[in-house]
Amino acid sequence: MNRGPLPLRYVLTRVGGTLVLLFVLSVAVFALLRIAPGDPARTLLGQRGATPQALAAVRARYHLDSPFAAQYLHWLGGVLHLDLGTSIRTGAPVSATIGGRLALTGQLVGLGLAVALLLGIPGGILTALRRYRATDRAVQTAGLVALSTPAFAGGLVLIYLFSLMLRWFPAYGPGQGGGDRLHHLVLPAVTLALSVTAVLLKLTRAAVIRELAKEHVVFARARGVPERRILVDYVLRGALVPVLTGVGLVVAYLLAGTVLVEQVFALPGLGSLLVESVTYRDVPLVQAEALFIATLVVLAGLVTDLAQPLIDPRLRPARTGKGNAR
């Protein structure tokens, strides 16, 4: 019965592991408030006047007099109903604040990932096929420059070149509506993708070179399989698992990168929200953002884990010996 491409047992283990990891993450994020120096109630009150009445109200609202575990369960119950508390700074519900900024950051990360995939993977394949030649060296050098350029520096260079000198793209702001938004997001997305592209490029290049050196590639050539099919069906298929693992890791990197990029391009997304909330010690918002980003990263890992047995039959459990003579 364990014969499907995605065996149930494997899925259950991976999903179970992910849930455990999420639980640990949520405890850690919740503990942020308690670990912060000073009275949590005062922290939660922020700049507002800490009158005894206000403090008592906050304590009651957040169950601060209950034991840690009870507080956590209350908080978790809220989280599961998308009730993440209210922002200290604005008093608005945290979930609404995040929701309002989610779209922009989602578009930025999505576009950044697209740029990284579209440049990094074909670039990696190209350099692998032209390895140790001029093309390879040129692309690799460019990749090295991209990798070692911090996002704020790269962003400023791009703004200078493409906004101020060439006037192709706007220098800042989120733009209005579909086409304009896309136009505004090109430079930020490229900035965000720069280093990640270089990582994907190197990873793909190494994976493809490793595959090209495999005996089965020589054997495919030796029996006359057309070169194009060898590249697509044999080499790229073999390189898929390591590249996919890399893409999973890269998503986390992109999310972290939004913090800098949104500052540089004055984009009101999750990244700049995080910076503001940290600056104003807006603990509920910081908690919610940390939990949200961590969850996304963990889920990206789960997706790559689940995709691997689909690609590589060796990662599926063995078929039982007897039941095959049918």
Partner 1 sequence: MTTSTPTAEPGPGAGTPTASLLDVDGLRIAATAGARHSIVDGVSFAVAPGECVGVVGESGSGKSLAVRAVTGLLPDGVTVTGGTVSLGGQDVLGLGPRARGALRGRRVALLMQDPFTMLHPQLTCGRQIADGLREEEHPRRGRAARAARRAEVVRRLAEVGLPAEIADRYPHELSGGMLQRAATAAALAADPDLLIADEPTTALDSANQAAVLALLGRLRHERAMGLVLITHDLRVAFSSCDRIYVLYAGSVLEHGPAGDVQAAPQHPYTAALLASEPSVFRRKDPLPSIPGSVPPPGSRGAGCPFAVRCAHVAAECRTAPLTLAAPPAGAPGADRRRTACARIGALTALPGAAGEDTGDAGPRQAREERTAGAPHAGPRRSDAALVVEGVGRRFGTGADAGHQALSDVSLTVPAGEITALVGRSGSGKTTLARIAIGLETFDSGTVRSGPVELRAGGRPGPADRRRLAAHTQIVFQDPYASLSPLRTVGATLREALAAARRNGLAVDGDRDQAVLALLDQVGLPAHYADRRPAALSGGERQRVAVARALAARPRLLICDEAVAALDVSVQAQILGLLAELRRSQNFAVLFITHDLAVVRQIADRVAVLSRGRVVEEGTTAEVLDHPRHEETRRLLAAVPEREVAD
Binding site for partner 1 (CB under 8 A): 2, 9, 214-216, 218-227, 229, 233-234, 237-238, 311-314, 317-322, 324-326
* Rg value, the chain, Cα: 25
Amino acid at 184: H
d(Cα 118, Cα 161) in Å, to the nearest integer? 22
CA distances in angstroms from 315 to 208, 318, 319, listed in the order given: 20, 9, 12
Complex with partner 1: residue 106 or 242, whichever CB lies closer: 242
Q: Output the 3-class SS for 57-68.
A: HHHHHCCCCCCH
The answer for 282, left when phi > 0, alpha when psi is -120 to 50, beta otherwise, is: beta
End-to-end CA separation in angstroms for the chain:
15
The minimum distance between CB 235 and partner 1, in angstroms, equals 9
Compare residues 173 and 226 and give the one whose CB is closer to partner 1: 226
Minimum CB–partner distance for residue 219 and partner 1 (Å): 5
CB 58 within 8 A of CB 44: yes
Other beta carbons less than 10 A from residue 237's beta carbon: 13
Minimum separation from the CB atom of position 241 to partner 1 (A): 9
Q: How far apart are CA 88 and CA 282, in angstroms?
A: 5
Cβ nearer to partner 1, comparing 141 with 320: 320
Query: Which residue lies nearer to partner 1 by CB, 153 or 240?
Result: 240
Minimum CB distance to partner 1 smaller for 13 or for 51: 13
Tokens of 239: 């390189």
Residues 6+ apart with CB under 8 A from 128: 136, 204, 205, 206, 208, 209, 212
Dist CA 59 CA 61 (whole Å):
6
Nearer to partner 1, 164 or 227 (CB): 227
**By C-beta, is 167 or 223 nearer to partner 1?**
223
Least Å from the CB of residue 224 to partner 1:
2
Q: CB of residue 314 vs partner 1: minimum separation in angstroms?
A: 5
Please report how close the Cβ of residue 296 comes to partner 1 at its closest, in angstroms.
29
- For residue 216, the minimal CB distance to partner 1 (Å) is 5
C-alpha distances (whole Å) from 114 to each of 105, 118, 182, 234 are: 14, 6, 13, 25
